[in-house]
Amino acid sequence: MQFQVPQFIEYETKIIGPLTLKQFMFLAITCAFLLAVYFLELLSLSKFLILAIIIGGATFFLVFWKVDGRPMLTVFKNLLLFTGSNKLYLWKRKKTFASFKPLERKKTENLKTEKEKDELPLKIAGTSQLKKIRKQLEIS
């Protein structure tokens, strides 16, 4: 049975022309702010133009520039979250309140007692296998 795999799931849908909703809202808020500053005549025309160029350039940079295929808004958000987060990770042992009873050994017929284990002789190899092979190679 074949299944339909969704494609292009990482792309935001274009709502208003070639812009996504997030891009459009960011541009609209910037334009509304600049229009409010212009019509309220808070600054002279030359100061307003300088402010509009700086804020407009920063807005276009944040909205349309991409770094490794990610929008600059996402990169900037991740930068702010990273700089504001704690970067010191300490391991803290959790205290458990388990009872510390000694483990009881299960007696089975296959297990030998401690005395029998101690009495078993250890096998000590006379020469290693590598030395035997080396001697055989030297002889031949």
Cβ atoms of 43 and 34 closer than 8 Å:
no
User: How long, in residues, is the chain?
Assistant: 140
What are the backbone dihedrals phi and psi of residue 115, each rounded to the nearest 5 degrees, phi first? -65, -40
Does this model's pTM top 0.85? My answer is no
Task: Walk along the chain (140 residues) and give the pLDDT tens digit of each residue.
Answer: 788 887 777 777 888 888 888 899 999 999 999 999 999 988 899 999 999 999 999 999 998 998 888 888 889 899 999 999 888 877 777 776 655 555 555 555 455 555 555 555 656 666 677 888 888 888 87
Going 27 to 15 to 77 to 81, the CA torsion angle's sign is positive
